Chains A and B, each alone.
Chain A
Amino acid sequence: MDNRMENLKYSISEALELPKDIVMDLPKIIMVGNIQLNISNHKGIIEYSQDTLRVNSNIGIIKITGSNLKLKTILSEEIVVDGTIDGIEIIS
């Protein structure tokens, strides 16, 4: 049932060229080089330290590793991370 619903949403957004992050309620991750990362539509922080940041989202946990990680801003929809980013992992 759930899967069918998702598929429907996907087809609609494909057909109408609507942004999928809005239609399917997915996180949007934007990276600027390896120095800044921007996650919108997150579901809260699970862990934050200077080396790792774990953010909850609809597709699972987004794990960002790096050094000197700083949270530039936190809003209910958006997180901006500054620092040197080494890796992004999605654990679903």
Chain B
Amino acid sequence: MGTIKAWNFLKGYVIIKIEGLTLERFLNLAATNDIYLWDINRVDYTILEMKATIEGFRALKEIVNKVGCRVEIVEKRGLPFILYKLRYRKTLGIGFILFFAIIALLSSIIWDIEIIGNEKVKDEEILHLLKEEKIKEGIIKYRIDKDYVENLLLNEFDVFSFISVEIKGTKLIIEIKERDLPPEMIDEDIPTNIVAAKKGIIEKVIARNGKPKVRKGDVVEKGDVLISGIISDEFSENQILVHAEGEVFARTLYSYKVEEPIIKTIKEETGRVFERKEFKIGERGIQFIKGDIPFEDYVEETEEIKILNLDINLPFKILVHKYKEVETMEIKQDIELIKSSNHIKAVEELNKQLPLEVEIISKDVKHYVRDNVVTTYVIIEVIEDIGVKRPIN
């Protein structure tokens, strides 16, 4: 039924009034002439009211003449009549068209560029590069050649291994995957020394090429030459430069310190909350202040109210500042417990620092209790390769 109504609205129809004495004959004639009439109502003994299509109304005239009754249009309904009226209200029509045009225009402009996944290259660098290619906020989104942008960024930055450029609504999203750069390789033709990367006590020297300069038990500082690439002849002054190669294992120390107070002040929420609302447009905001915060100690939390629960980026925000009242409390902790937790924390930190291929020789844990603070030192001794190639100048 709804579709028929919608169709009639689109085609347009008239409500007409027919006055006469032989109205039944009129209806029969209309039916046999295939004129579609609907919602016929006998308002009075001599009056019929009905709806007819525009074409139907034109065809009715003949029948009306034959039957001898009067026709009167009560109302015109439907889209054709609305459009007809709009012809005399040009500004309204123009406004209507303008409205859709503006929406279409604004939604085809890039308003925001989002760059995800870059760690080694700064956002500004990428944006600068894009700007040189005239890709910036405010351009028409259909002009962006995604493949071109991808290739451009991949060529410009070696660190990027994968780039996907996507346009979501009015947002340009550039997703970047960076690759881990392999350690710098030095060509084997270039003469090199092997030097110490850090302080340590030499444990073992394996020189595959070059002349070892240190022995087991030597203490080396960072930068000391371990295997020299300069081989000199005892009998002549000629020096041969080679590409030194080999491993130098040394004992090195890793240490970490953790401090934890015995008496700790903890802020606990009392449950009383004071709220302030803020309306923010861009960087500017208006706070709606109703009285001072009635608490002495409080923590502030800011929450954003999502409009209609949609996850969209609007240029304005409604923020709620929640001031939660807190009570400060002092808690005395068990010393033994602190010691063990400090120990665990330190070992975890050290594990992050340690390179992959190392041999742990010893672990030393020391606790000091002084002035309400438990300090824990964890020292790990390991054997690792400390040799690093450096070209000879």
List residues of A whose CB falls within 8 A of some B CB. Answer: 44-50, 69-76
Contacts and interface: CB of A to CB of B under 8 A. Distances in A.
Contacts of B37: 71, 73-74
B36 A71 contact: no
Nearest to A51: B42
A46 B28 CA distance: 9
A72 B24 CA distance: 15
Given A48-B42, A49-B42, A73 B28 contact: no
B32 A46 contact: no
A76 B27 contact: no
B45 interface: yes
A48 B39 contact: no
A40 B23 CA distance: 21
Interface of B: 23-24, 27-28, 30-32, 34, 36-42, 45, 50
21 contacts: A44-B31, A45-B28, A46-B24, A48-B27, A49-B45, A50-B41, A69-B42, A70-B39, A70-B40, A70-B41, A71-B38, A71-B50, A72-B40, A73-B36, A73-B37, A73-B38, A74-B31, A74-B38, A75-B34, A76-B32, A76-B34
Given A70-B41, A71-B40, A48 B24 contact: yes
A73 B41 CA distance: 11
Given A48-B27, A71-B39, 10 more contacts: A45-B28, A48-B24, A49-B45, A70-B39, A70-B40, A73-B37, A73-B38, A74-B27, A75-B36, A76-B31
Nearest to B40: A71
Contacts of B39: 70-72
Contact of B27 (A49, A50, A70, A71): A71
A58 B115 CA distance: 81
A44 B29 CA distance: 9
10 closest A-B pairs by beta carbon, nearest first, are A71-B40, A44-B28, A74-B31, A45-B24, A70-B41, A73-B38, A76-B31, A49-B42, A50-B42, A45-B27
A69 B30 CA distance: 19
Nearest to B24: A45
A35 to B, nearest CB: 14
Contacts of A50: 41-42
Contacts of A74: 27, 30-31, 37-38, 40
A89 to B, nearest CB: 18
Contacts of B41: 50, 70-71
A70 to B, nearest CB: 5
A57 B180 CA distance: 91
Nearest to B23: A48
A32 to B, nearest CB: 13
A72 B32 CA distance: 16
A10 to B, nearest CB: 29
Contacts of B31: 44, 74-76
Contacts of A44: 28, 31
A76 B42 CA distance: 20
Nearest to A68: B41
A69 to B, nearest CB: 8
Q: In this complex, which of B30, B39, B42 has the most chain A Cβ atoms within 10 angstroms of its Cβ?
A: B42
B60 to A, nearest CB: 13
Nearest to B35: A74
Contacts of B24: 45-48
A44 B39 CA distance: 17
Contacts of A69: 42
Nearest to B43: A50
Contacts of A70: 39-41
Contacts of B27: 45, 48, 71, 74
A48 B25 CA distance: 10
A70 B39 CA distance: 7
Contacts of B40: 48, 70-72, 74
Contacts of B30: 74
A77 to B, nearest CB: 9
Contacts of A46: 24
A48 B41 CA distance: 9
